[in-house]
Chains A and B, each alone.
Chain A
Amino acid sequence: DTAVSQTPKYLVTQMGNDKSIKCEQNLGHDTMYWYKQDSKKFLKIMFSYNNKELIINETVPNRFSPKSPDKAHLNLHINSLELGDSAVYFCASSQESGGLSEQYFGPGTRLTVT
Chain B
Amino acid sequence: AQRVTQPEKLLSVFKGAPVELKCNYSYSGSPELFWYVQYSRQRLQLLLRHISRESIKGFTADLNKGETSFHLKKPFAQEEDSAMYYCALSHSSNTGKLIFGQGTTLQVKP
Residues of A near any B CB (own CB < 8 A): 4, 31, 33, 40-45, 48, 55-56, 90, 92, 94, 96-108
Residues of B near any A CB (own CB < 8 A): 32, 43-46, 49, 51, 84, 86, 90-92, 94-100, 102-103
Complex Cα–Cα for A106 and B91 (A): 21
Q: How many pairs of A and B residues are in contact by the CB < 8 Å rule?
A: 59
A41 and B46 form a contact (CB under 8 A): no
Contacts A41-B103, A42-B100; is A98 near B43 (CB within 8 Å)? no
Contacts of B91 in A (CB 8 A): 99
23 contacts between A and B (CB under 8 A): A31-B96, A42-B100, A42-B103, A43-B44, A43-B86, A45-B99, A48-B96, A48-B97, A56-B96, A56-B97, A90-B44, A94-B96, A96-B96, A98-B94, A99-B90, A99-B91, A99-B96, A100-B49, A103-B96, A105-B43, A105-B45, A107-B43, A108-B43
CB nearest neighbor in B for A55? B95
Contacts of A44 in B (CB 8 A): 100
Complex Cα–Cα for A104 and B36 (A): 10
Complex Cα–Cα for A108 and B41 (A): 11
**Of the residues B44, B51, B96, contact of A105 by C-beta under 8 Å:** B44
Pairs of residues from A and B, 10 with the lowest C-beta to C-beta distance, nearest first: A99-B90, A105-B44, A43-B100, A97-B96, A99-B32, A102-B46, A105-B43, A41-B103, A55-B95, A56-B97
Contacts of A4 in B (CB 8 A): 43
Contacts A41-B84, A90-B44; is A103 near B98 (CB within 8 Å)? yes
CB nearest neighbor in B for A108? B43
A101 and B100 form a contact (CB under 8 A): no
